[in-house]
Amino acid sequence: PGGGLAGRSTMDNLGNAAVIGACYAGAALWLYNDYLEKPKPDTPTAEALAASSTARGVEAIAAEMASLREQIEAMDETARWLAGGCRTGPLVIVGTGGGSESVFAFRISPSRTAAAAVGEPLKVGANPSFVSASTSTGKHVLYVAHEGAVSAVAADARDATLALLGGAQSSNGQGTAYAAPDGRACRHVLAANYAGGSVCVLPVLPDGSLGAATDAKHHVIDDPKPHLADRQASAHPHSVRVDPWAGKWALVPDLGLDTVLVYAYDAAKGVLAGAPNATRHWRAREGAGPRHICFSPPSRAAHLVYALCEMDGTACVLQLNDSDGSLTELQTVSLLPHYVQPTREGHCGSAEIAMHPSGKFVYASNRQNHSISILKVDEATGKLSMHANVPCGGKTPRHFQISP
């Protein structure tokens, strides 16, 4: 009874959700589970409650709790998870900018109702703003892009420990914005340098660590346009990905060039081949700013590339020709609701794009209105249509990840 009465007081001050946690180990939670649903008049506790002048107040508490049963059960599970040291559930690795030099590990509860920082942050270098993962060596290895370099990090999913594998390797440019494996085999990691205008290929050694770059390509703008000088006075490769079908084409969205460049990729040698003016590259609309891409699933006959353009807030559906690497545009669709305008302002445009594993939906993040756009994929054509635009749960969604 004391717990129930204490809960009443807590509820007055903190609200209904708070009382559930406050009464977790007290009489109120016991009361909900046993007294109202399964009265036991022969027990001393029930007799005392029945005789007590506070019985009606306790029953009122229990009635309020009964209306919040799902929250009670969820918080009960979350409390046990937190008390147990957050040892189960997906491990999420977070890279940060803004002067940070570390990556952090978080664990999400199995019920998806809570998250908690676990383990110790790992210092890797300035501005560790992008993280990718591979299991090709039989263990979890992360590749972290930080200022002018890429580091390999071993992650133990059981105890959430992070440890550097070897030393950081130069990415052959500044403002390293992206680093990702070249496929499931992870023979190399490819990195894009936004400020340096370059991409490079780093070999993956047997233990998952990285070797010195085997190749690099540097982009330049031959005829910069004054009216685009605010964001596009020079080349800005923002990401680089190898096609998942044959693994022989490396696609590089370059925001500064308004182009998705396609290099022939030799996975055995770690070499990129192709001229910056090759006809197979896809030229976006002026000022669009291609940033990131994702691919259609292997089950689709046509090999489609979905390119997100940061500054005009669009997604473009492109078809990849496996024989020559050329890209053909099939569709352009807005990622924004009609009342939201695209922007050229830095750190404010559309950002990430990802395909759902089912192949039925594409997701894109928009920093203009702090949202995630959900686009439905046409089963026959692979083209996109807006399904919903929902709040991201915070501000400035630079990146997101679809959970397994």
User: The dihedral of CA 80, 82, 87, 91: what is its sign?
Assistant: positive
Instruction: Tally the domains of the chain.
Output: 1
Whether residue 381 is contained in a domain is answered as: no
Rounded distance, CA 368 to CA 395, Å? 9
The average pLDDT across 117-145 equals 94
Whether residue 324 is contained in a domain is answered as: no
Whether residue 12 is contained in a domain is answered as: yes
pLDDT over 90 for what percent of the chain? 70
What is the C-alpha R_g of the chain?
26
CA nearest neighbour of 112 among 85, 92, 142: 92
Whether residue 345 is contained in a domain is answered as: no
Which CB contacts under 8 angstroms, 24+ apart, belong to 1-6? Answer: 1/27, 1/48, 1/49, 1/52, 1/54, 1/58, 2/26, 2/27, 3/27, 3/28, 3/29, 3/30, 4/28, 4/31, 4/57, 4/58, 4/61, 4/62, 5/54, 5/57, 5/58
When mean pLDDT is compared across 44-53, 121-130, 262-271, 329-338, the lowest value belongs to 44-53
Whether residue 69 is contained in a domain is answered as: yes
Rounded distance, CA 107 to CA 160, Å? 8
Per-residue pLDDT of 265-312, as tens digits, reads 999 999 999 988 899 999 999 999 999 999 999 889 999 999 999 999
pLDDT for 351 beyond 60: yes
User: The dihedral of CA 78, 80, 83, 89: what is its sign?
Assistant: negative
Q: Greater confidence, 2 or 47?
A: 47
pLDDT for 48 beyond 90: no
Whether residue 121 is contained in a domain is answered as: no
When mean pLDDT is compared across 81-85, 148-152, 183-187, 377-381, the lowest value belongs to 81-85
Whether residue 27 is contained in a domain is answered as: yes
pLDDT at 98: 79
Whether residue 177 is contained in a domain is answered as: no
Question: Whole domain around residue 30: which residue ranges?
Answer: 2-83
Q: Of the spans 41-50, 108-117, 241-250, which averages the highest pLDDT?
A: 241-250
pLDDT at 112: 84
Going by pLDDT thresholds of 50, 70 and 90, the confidence category of residue 35 is: very low
When mean pLDDT is compared across 61-65, 83-87, 366-370, 393-397, the lowest value belongs to 61-65
When mean pLDDT is compared across 136-145, 227-236, 331-340, the lowest value belongs to 136-145
pLDDT at 137: 82
